[in-house]
Amino acid sequence: HSGVIVISGLDPGYFVVEETVPPSNFTLSANNRQHAFLRPDGTSIVEVTFSNLPYSSMIITLRCSVTGAPIPNGEFKVTNSGGAVVGTDNGHFWTNLQGEILIPNVVPDSYVVTQVTVPPQYVIQLVQSTQTIRVDPTGRIYRVDFFSDPLSNLLITLRCEVTGQPVQGGEFRITNSAGNVVGSTNGIFFTDLQGEILIPGLGVDSYVVTQLNAPDGFRLGTRRGNKQPNDFYTTPRRDLRLKLHQ
């Protein structure tokens, strides 16, 4: 299509030309109503030019807050300033392998973008889980960036303070900064054959690790020197033998 309308055979006089409906994915501009005068000379050609403003696009990105790597399968909900959902899936969109959502032909408005879910190995950053973005009819791409925190693993070790060998059966209790216990066993964990406790999938927080009991043959040790924060040492008990003489 050429974008041109030709109207011939008009009587001389004044005319009002008004654009009432813009093309698909365009908006009406401020000059959608114009006046034209056709002289009674039989040869006059009057040209009236209208301009339309193109819809823009919105891109939503989701990346790891630590590595910057893209995160696929992150779920978002997008609504406009009136609360109406965007798109055909009740306002829900999911990031692709590049950690992106591209929404084309966005009607000019303000939009609220809310992060709904992330893959199991990540947690949502609550402070920026909802963002508002203004999209104007400029034909450009408007960008809103989100970051999610990766879950981490906590490794606790227990070793003999004398030999350095791993100690199995040490009992520990783990709580977070709010005092809530970690895990499904009231926060209680025991070291394995390697003298270790591995707790996966912990979110960003501070954790308190407390050694409650040492296994048989050991007693609770003291943490001193430049040991790592989650390395514990326990002291072996020593038998006292008495020899009685008559």
Q: What is the pLDDT of residues 122-177, one digit of tens each?
A: 999 888 899 999 999 988 999 999 999 999 889 999 998 888 899 999 999 999 99
pLDDT at 90: 94
Angle at 34 between CA 29 and CA 37, to 5 degrees: 160
CA dist 118 → 6, 59, 124, 129, 188 (Å) = 55, 17, 7, 11, 28
Residue 243 has pLDDT above 60, yes or no: no
Residue with tokens 């005319």: 15
Specify which of 58-62, 105-109, 117-121 reaches the highest per-range mean pLDDT.
Answer: 58-62
Q: What is the pTM of this model?
A: 0.67
Angle at 66 between CA 198 and CA 158, to 5 degrees: 20
Residue 244 has pLDDT above 70, yes or no: no
Percentage above 90 pLDDT, the chain: 54
Q: What is the pLDDT of residues 72-108, one digit of tens each?
A: 999 999 999 999 999 999 999 999 999 999 999 999 9
Q: Answer for the pair 174, 181: CB distance below 8 angstroms, yes or no.
A: yes
Please, what's the b/e burial string for 149-169 (b: 16 or more CB within 10 A of its CB; e: otherwise)? ebbeebebbbbbbeeeebbeb
Side by side, which strands form the sheet with 56-64?
100-106, 56-64, 141-150, 122-124
